Amino acid sequence: MVATSRADDNAGDARNAGDAGDAGDAGDAGDAGDAGDAGDAGNKSYGRRAFRRSKAHFTDRITADGQGGWPVEPGRYRLVASRACPWASRAVISRRLLGLEDALSLAITDPIQDDRSWRFTLDPGGRDPVLGIRFLSEAYDRQETGYPGGVSVPAIVEVPSRKLVTNDYERITLDLATEWTALHREGAPDLYPRALRDEIDQVMADVYEDVNNGVYRAGFATDQEEYEGACAALFRRLELLGRRLEGQRYLVGDTITEADIRLFTTLVRFDAVYHGHFKCNRWKLAEHEVLWAYARDLYQTPGFGDTVDFDHIKRHYYQVHTGINPTRIVPLGPDLSGWLAPHDRQALGGRPFGDGTPPGPVRADEKVPERGRP
């Protein structure tokens, strides 16, 4: 959920994160709101102002009964995401696992924002071909003017009105799993099974606090004590997760759930950006036997790795956060070939899609370019 910083570049990543989701990456903070090229004024503030992640401001929900005014309808809405943003990537993965490609179209923004917000410069003429807008901020402005925070992803926009519906990164994926069921593909997994929701919620809360948001708190820390506290909590939680995953293939139960999606989007970025760029360098993911195998297992599962664009990820973090990388130089590494190495996690059992089936091939117009893949 990276938010693009408009009035307040300090939304955390959440509005500053480029994705902000990405209101904070949670907006994507690092994505979050990623203020992108945000003029550089906002980008230069990373690591110089106290970090905080904002809650999503636009929290309308799209539901099966349409009680809030936004009923689930095929073709009515468009998901706007950045492949750079971990918060937005959750929604991209969920959409693919559930087979919602025909029901909910997808717009991918340029990984580099400017001061007007996430932009559609990857599309012909610099306009989204469905919404006809050049900047995501145009959809925000149609919903409300003078709104607090910045422009973040993921965002869902109503196509006919070109108006933002929601940027609630925490709720969007849960609603895709539970409210859009009539439009799920045959064989879609249950990503938020009712019997396991209390446990899933607790795991996700811990992962959010120390891992998803923890890497940002470390990366944007403004003093040594703040950085060391965030970094210590991050690696303490990763060690606990590693112990949990030693004897089970997935975080909760024997199938993939929302909890796995939320951990994966941070792990897949760990060695590429968080280890160096955010100084989360006590060890690399590739040096932790259990977590590295777990992450590879998910990456090689249809619906996960085929949505990841390492080129977008690296260019976004290293070129947007000029406060902590003023040269904007993007490193050549790390070597990505390890993501395709055998993981042997199937020995633990588990059924990735439960009683369902894997999603089909990626649509031709949604394939990650070769330069973004191992």
What are the catalytic residues? 85, 216
CB distance 15 to 152 below 8 Å: yes
What's the count of helices (H) and strands (E) in the chain, helices before strands? 11, 6
Longest CA–CA separation in the chain, Å: 54
DSSP 59: B
Q: At what angle do helices 258-269 and 169-178 cross, to 10 degrees?
A: 140
CB distance 130 to 159 below 8 Å: yes
Phi, psi of 18 (to 5 degrees): 65, -35
Residue bearing tokens 């060890």: 283
**Angle in degrees, CA 239, 243, 246, rounded to 5:** 135
Supply 273's token pair: 């950006």
End-to-end CA distance of the chain: 24
Of 2, 40, 14, 49, whose CA–CA distance to 319 is shortest? 40
Residue 364 is which amino acid? A
**Who's near 177: CB < 8 A, 6+ residues apart?**
94, 98, 190, 191, 192, 258
H or E element that contains 157: strand 155-158
